[in-house]
Structure 1
Amino acid sequence: MVEVKVKILGADSFGSRSMATSLEVGGVKILIDPGVSYAPRRYGLPPHPVEIARLNEIKERILGEISDADIVIITHYHYDHYLYKPEDVEYYRGKVLLIKDPSSNINVSQRIRAHRLLKTNKVSEIAKSINILDSSTYIVDKDFVVVGSPPVPHGAEGSKLGYVVMVLISCCGEKIVHASDVQGPMSRKALDVILSWKPSLVIISGPPTYFAGIKVEEDKVNQGLSNLRKLVESVDTVIVDHHFARDLNYPSYLEELRSINKRVMSAAEYMGYPIELLEARRKELWKKEKAANSDRASGESFLEVD
């Protein structure tokens, strides 16, 4: 039996914003959402140098994997989900691209970014082919298909952040779902689609609990948590990360979910890494940096006086 190999390349539990995932089946490699980024500001602070270093590590890992990928999937056009810089788009050359529809069920900012990627940076000219992922099925081989969901909200229904497309990889009796930025899912529509696919493994963005009552209504975050609990009751293995891992309480949420299903984990745990919530710890990291700089300055002054 052919094995489906799943490798998570980047995730917030690794220390940088990403859901980049590689799947390999019988020599065919699929790369989903090959992007990574950091929050420009968190707690009013810029990224700490350790965050920037981690981002660069993850990006190098993504570039290494995309080099020999056959199929690249872009579920939506937020910078932590695709390569977009002019110096990086060459990596799309010769690839089969399965992409979120750039002109339908898309908000203005994502529409502009999609146009910039496909037209301005000429990815439409260098890719082997470009296929719309929304509500479609791409046949890789006999009994090996990639299925795109209908567009679902980036979070709750009516989200101003637009839509994303969830992905089902079905091969050799295995069904794996990658659900970027559904945030729980908050949307019942998104949950129903996932459950209808009957997957054995789901890789999903959890709810943005760190924004509850601040930038996202608390009842919507709670709906995301409720739907997530329903999901983990029904699926064998759930890797829940991304927005969820921007909260210092994320490990506690994981423990609560594991009381329902022991096979709930972070992307870091799935890959055998320690959980490193660098963005959530940004205030702490900069405080330590300031203290270390202060100690060094004090030491230098003492030496000068001496």
Structure 2
Amino acid sequence: MKLSFKPVWFDSLGAKSSCVFVKTSDVSILIDPGIAIMQPSFPASEEEKIRWLTKGEREIIKASKRADVIVVSHYHYDHYFPDNMEVYGGKILLAKNPNSYINDSQRKRAEYFYSNLYSYFGGITLENVLAKPETKEYPNPIKELPIASSKDFGEYNKRRKQLLKKGFKWFKNRAKKWNSTPRIPEMVFKDLKVFFADGKEFRFGDTKIEFTRPLFHGIEFSRVGWVFATVIERGDEKLIHSSDLNGPIIEDYAEWIIKENPNVLILDGPMTYMLGYLLNKTNLKRTIDNAVKIVKEIDAEVIIYDHHLPREVHFKEHTKEVWETAEKLNKNLLTAAEFLGKKPKVTECKK
């Protein structure tokens, strides 16, 4: 193969992560080197959770030593290390732009992260290199989602319209903030190069690494923020890492994946452990319908269906249509643990 990959750590291994190592003959790439402990409801003892967290950290750090490029899709702790600067030494960092399409929480985390990075690798303080804000127009992102916008949600249509109106108001306030907040700059040091990758393409020999525009972290106008998805391509081989699309919930994102038709798809699932709280039945159905369509229509050799999903015992029951479709069509749909010849931790342990 011109392109190979290995799941480094995922939720099915017992700690929250979506970290994958990708290698071509040109470059080695580590995507989302971060990890977080499982939530209190996860059916394992605290000692087990800490053991898996520690083991995952060790595996991610070990993988980072073999990487030329590190990708950070957004600033949630299960996707990057905010304090361990040695992980980034000697690397090219391709990261989510911290200056736009970001919520307040992730912006604060980004400020802390780049303060650490620029101090460690350049001996400078972030405050001394912050740039003036850029004034930009931020159009309504719903206009980029024609399929979701035209979908008939039946009795939910009225409620959805209200939520979208409220969400756009929130978005406009975010845009005002982006246009008034000093910008964190990209920087190049002796042992680190930092580039903000949203919507950009990078080439390493015959390997292309392409990043989507900022995508909603879940539903439209999700207050959790934005992420980007990563596409790595060499010759006729292609891998997509979806990051946190939660299913995907949004139909247009599913159509994009189908159009790309990757050989390998790293697809995060819905937060079924939050069903009834952050995930309602309407949006769960959207994620299942979208995932079923993806499984039916892409020609992937393997689909890793994991992050968010295996955080509760009944995750396969809640998404059974996806698994049944894959089995019927003889598609290789697996959790990361199953891909590695193991069982998902959530199905093995009792609290």
Please report how far the alpha carbon of residue 40 of structure 1 lies from its aligned counterpart in structure 2 after TM superposition. 5.1
The equivalent residue for 2:98 is 102
Percent identity (aligned): 28
Please report how far the alpha carbon of residue 195 of structure 1 lies from its aligned counterpart in structure 2 after TM superposition. 2.0
The equivalent residue for 1:167 is 230
> 1-side partners of 2:116 and 2:27: how far apart?
29
- Residue identity opposite 1:61 in structure 2: E
Please report how far the alpha carbon of residue 103 of structure 1 lies from its aligned counterpart in structure 2 after TM superposition. 0.6
The equivalent residue for 2:9 is 10
> 2-side partners of 1:92 and 1:48: how far apart?
30
2:292–2:321 contact (8 Å) kept in structure 1: no
> 2-side partners of 1:216 and 1:124: how far apart?
41
> 2-side partners of 1:138 and 1:117: how far apart?
23
1:118–1:124 contact (8 Å) kept in structure 2: no
Please report how far the alpha carbon of residue 27 of structure 1 lies from its aligned counterpart in structure 2 after TM superposition. 5.7
* Unmatched tracts of structure 1, length 5 or more: 286-306
- Residue identity opposite 2:73 in structure 1: T
- Residue identity opposite 1:151 in structure 2: P
- Residue identity opposite 1:159 in structure 2: S
The equivalent residue for 1:219 is 282
TM-score, normalised to structure 1, is 0.84
1:254–1:265 contact (8 Å) kept in structure 2: no
> 2-side partners of 1:42 and 1:195: how far apart?
34
1:149–1:193 contact (8 Å) kept in structure 2: no
TM alignment of 1:52-63, pairs within 5 A: 52-63=50-61
2:313 paired residue among 234, 248, 251: 248
- Residue identity opposite 1:37 in structure 2: A
2:110 paired residue among 97, 111, 114: 114
The equivalent residue for 2:169 is none
> 2-side partners of 1:39 and 1:177: how far apart?
25
> 1-side partners of 2:78 and 2:258: how far apart?
26
Please report how far the alpha carbon of residue 170 of structure 1 lies from its aligned counterpart in structure 2 after TM superposition. 0.3
TM alignment of 1:1-306, pairs within 5 A: 2-26=1-25, 28-39=27-38, 41-42=40-41, 48-85=46-83, 88-122=84-118, 125=122, 127-142=191-206, 144-235=207-298, 236=300, 237-252=302-317, 256-261=321-326, 262-277=331-346, 284-285=350-351
- Residue identity opposite 2:208 in structure 1: V
The equivalent residue for 1:299 is none
Residues 23-42 of structure 1: CA deviation (Å, up to 9, x unaligned):
11116210000011114533
RMSD between aligned residues: 2.1
TM-score, normalised to structure 2, is 0.74
- Residue identity opposite 2:215 in structure 1: V
The equivalent residue for 1:292 is none
- Residue identity opposite 1:117 in structure 2: F
- Residue identity opposite 2:288 in structure 1: L
- Residue identity opposite 1:219 in structure 2: T
SS of equivalent residue, structure 2 residue 22: strand
- Residue identity opposite 2:30 in structure 1: L
When residues 58 and 120 of structure 1 are mapped into structure 2, their CA distance, relative to the original with a 3 A threshold, is closer
> 2-side partners of 1:38 and 1:241: how far apart?
16
